[in-house]
Each structure stands twice: as C-alpha cells, then as structure tokens.
A and B are shown apart, each in its own frame.
Chain A
C-alpha cells in the first residue's frame, strides 16, 4: 500500500468500493509500527495475529458483498485501561502486570462488532493518572512530531499512534482532559462525549463521576464514525444515558453558517494566558469560523481556577476511594506519580468533597446559563505546545489550571482539533464545547473548521522515512 495514510472515512469508502484491502491496510499499519514504535512506545501490547485474522474476515465480508458499516476493516487501538478478553490489560501498572480479563469492555465489544481490526493495546499513564513516568513496566509514549516531547496523557499511546498513522483511530478516556490533551499535543482530533453517552463498563476508573470514554482519530469526521459505534445505553453502567442515539455524521458538511459560538476569552487570555503559538491558533480559528459564517460572541464563566479546584478535589477523592485497598497494601507497587496522587487523598476531607460537589452544581448552572442562545463555546485545549518529556512537573495538579477539566466537571461534550503549529513545528489546538448530547453540532463545527484549513494535510516528519 502506498500514498498518504487514509482517514477512516477515506479508507471506508475505498474498502466499500473494493479499492482498498483491509489486509493491506492492516499490514501497512504494522509496517509503520515496526519502523517507528521503538521510538514512540505507543503500544504496550500488539495483537498482530488477531489483527490479521480480523482483517481477512473483513476482506471476506466485503468481497462477498455482505453489507458492512464504515468501520469494517479499520485498524484501531484500545487504551490499556480498556478490558480485552484474553489480552493483557495492565493499566500501565506493575499491580496488574499479569491481568488478563475474561470479558471485553463495552467499548471494545462495540468496536469489534462494527468490524474494526484490533492492532493492540496503547500506552496509558498508570491507571489513567499522572505521567509521564519512567518507573512503570513500560516507558511513556512519545510525541511523533518530536519524540523528545510529551504527548500529554493519559491516553498518550492512542494520541501518538493516531498521529503517526500506526492506527486510524482508537479509544481514549478522559477524566480531566485525557482524550483532549493528547489530541491537542499530538495534532489529532479527540472528543470527550457527554457524560453517560458512552458506556464505562469494563474500563478502569480514574474518578467515577468525571470519567468519559471517547474516540481519537485524525479528523473530527473519523471521530463521528467511531462515536456512532460507541454511543448507546448500557444498563451495566449506572451513569449510562438511556436516550436515543443521534446520527453523528448527519450534520457534517452542512457548514457553520448561523451557528453561534461564544469564545471564553478570559480562560486563555487572563485566567491562564496561553503561549503565543496557541493564542495565534485560537485567534486564527476564530477568524476562519467567522469567515465560514458562524456568529462569534464572548462568554464569561467563573475563573478557570474554580473549575480546576472543583474537578481536582473530586478527582483526588474518587481516585483515592477507588484504589484505597491497593494504596494501603501495595502503595510502593504504584509508580512515583500515582503514589503522589493517592497520597493527596488523605488531605481531602469528606466535607471538602461535598463542598466540591455542591460547587459542581453551581458551575454547571453557570455554563448552562452562559450557553443560552449559543451552540458552542470555544477556548484553548492546552496552554501551550508539548513540553519536553522530562520537563513535566511531578505535582502538575498544582502547576497550571486545566483548560479541559471544566467540561468534565460539567459533563458537556468537548472536542480538541488541531489549529496549526507553533514554534518548533509542534501542534496547537482549539477546544469546541457543545450542549449535552449535542455532539452532532460540535462535530459539524470541528469538521467544517478542519476542512477550511490545511492542517490535516501535514503528518509528522518521522513518517517520511517509512515506506507504505
């Protein structure tokens, strides 16, 4: 297989028209993995034999004319906190080094049922927390745009693997930004859906009331295709929303004329001023969206630090509760960063937690009020381009407020898409946030933006040396 790495949408069309073989597509992914992953560490476990079997089955299904969906034969990866039947699921931890689940997580089931080809399990920060860590069973993933730099986390392997074309899409999880952060720093698209839209069954928790499962891919359109397979009610997940699932691709291509966007300028200009490259990316995106016909206004919310305090206290406490038994008996078996996070749980009282949850109700009401009359709000996804991988503070919780946490606190859908490149050629991003269950609008806007810019035509330079 030669030529540029296809998006999921492009590959789906070619496969359906019998112009692209899922077997060749899968082989090309493994060729890139074998050429690059020793530098990226995007995978902790490859499932090559299974993948080739699934690719051949997909090809057979296509060739025999059985009707197939757009994910048939598409190579994907699953973050290694997602349970996979018969396949190691370590959560990036020494504690679960020998863990082989006896059932698939709901999201793994859904993607398999849609005909995807599982390439492997992608690197995660330990139990989706902390990172980058150099004291875990596997090394941290590295950024394909420059392997000396961080991917963000915790869905670090999926972010790196998609950017480098090792897979066409994959699963991330997001408790405070773990889909959107790696999407932003790796220059791809990643959507944290509305809380409850995608089942959490079989995915290791980070913080129960903040955890979201969602897709990461090269484009917003690809995220829509993956989300279609993932969304839906699951009675096994107590937070699962029992409501009809939207058509996530239905609004793509309709343009953005008349959509009302509120920019949360104070988040990225005064609450925590972003880098010059990120600011330029955001400002240029606003110009682009206005030029496409969107109506741009400004919204005011409580300061970023209020959202961060609320989300962090909830996250610290819920994580400490989830992992209390191991923290008490095997603390030293966690990596240094997660040990620190678990230690923090001792400092947060029950009353602090409830005050945080009361604040959460108020903050959600503020966002609801601010979004009346708007379709989407826009701000930064990350404060800057990717830092050097050895320059991430160990107590990053206190180093800078998160631009993504507000929408975990609120549970609103939010996507990060590439908005250009800063100094050193590293990606910058914007974050688009919709109202609950309005993913079609968020994806429509993100898709229109991507198609109005040429950021999707550029891949990491390390791919130039890889044929196929």
Chain B
C-alpha cells in the first residue's frame, strides 16, 4: 500500500463506498491516508498463506444435530 493517494484514486474509493464528500472533507481524509497505510503495513506479517484469521469458527454443540 503506497503511503500517499492520488485525487483520482481517492475519488474511486469514495465512489465505491458511496460517500459524497466536499473538497474540504476529501483533503482532510487525504491528510490521514498515511496513517491508514501505516496500520495496513503493521498488520502484514511474513506468515504464509496457511495462517488463519481470528474469525475462523467452529460450530457450538447447540448447532449440531
């Protein structure tokens, strides 16, 4: 994830999210993109494709026939 975002890319993401922002809001959001990029980098580890997410779940006893 790059640490900066172009106006065009931001517009695409906002359109996909369905958010209509003012120019001031866009500038404000752009100013913290680096913070999100840093967070996204932190959660990426050399873990390989087999590492499971915490959301992986099993069935509770009550779910079973």
Nearest A residue to B44, CB-CB: A355
The interface residues of chain A lying within 8 Å CB-to-CB of B17 are: 320, 324, 327-328, 345-346
**B36 and A347: CB pair below 8 A?**
yes
| Residue in chain A with minimal CB distance to B1 | A352
Q: Which residues of B have CB within 8 Å of A356? A: 39, 43
Contact B36 A344 (CB under 8 A): yes
CA distance A209 to B55 in the complex (A): 9
Contact of A340 among B14, B28, B45, B55 (CB under 8 A): B28
Number of B residues with CB within 8 Å of any CB on chain A:
33
Over the window 8-49 of chain B, the binary record of Cβ atoms lying under 8 Å from chain A Cβ atoms (1 yes, 0 no) is 000001101111110001001100110110111011110100
- A313 near B43 (CB under 8 angstroms)? yes
Contact at A346–B43, with CB atoms within 8 Å? no
Given contacts A242-B60, A352-B40, contact A357 B19 (CB under 8 A): no
Interface centre among A305, A345, A352 (most CB of B within 10 A): A352
The answer on a CB contact under 8 Å between A360 and B19 is no
B39 — which chain A residues lie within 8 A by C-beta? 308-309, 312-313, 352, 356
Chain A contact residues, majority secondary structure: helix
Measured CB to CB, the closest approach of chain A to B49, in angstroms, equals 10
Known: A242-B62, A310-B43, A397-B35. A360 touches B29 (CB 8 A): no
CB distance B19 to A327 under 8 Å?
yes
Q: Is the CB of A360 within 8 A of B53?
A: yes
Measured between beta carbons, the chain A residues less than 8 angstroms from B64 are: none
CA A209 – CA B44 in complex, angstroms? Answer: 20
Q: Who on chain B is nearest to A308 by CB?
A: B39
Q: Which of A314-358 contact B (CB under 8 A)?
A: 316, 320, 324, 327-328, 331, 339-340, 342-349, 352, 354-358
Contact of B51 among A340, A347, A362 (CB under 8 A): A362
Inter-chain pairs besides A327-B19, A346-B29, 18 sampled, C-beta below 8 Å: A209-B55, A242-B60, A308-B39, A309-B40, A324-B17, A324-B18, A328-B17, A344-B29, A345-B17, A346-B13, A346-B17, A348-B36, A348-B40, A352-B40, A354-B53, A358-B52, A359-B42, A362-B51
Closest CB in chain B relative to A203 CB, distance in Å: 21
Decide if the interface of chain B is mainly helix, strand, loop or mixed: loop
Q: Are B29 and A309 in contact (CB under 8 A)?
A: no
15 contacts between A and B (CB under 8 A): A242-B62, A306-B43, A308-B39, A320-B17, A328-B19, A345-B17, A346-B13, A349-B40, A355-B44, A356-B43, A358-B51, A361-B51, A362-B47, A398-B32, A398-B35
Q: A313-B40, A344-B32 are in contact. Are A339 and B25 (CB under 8 A)?
A: yes
Given contacts A343-B25, A354-B53, contact A331 B20 (CB under 8 A): yes
Partner of B29, one of A343, A349, A352, A397: A343
Which of chain A's residues have a CB closer than 8 A to the CB of B44? 355, 359
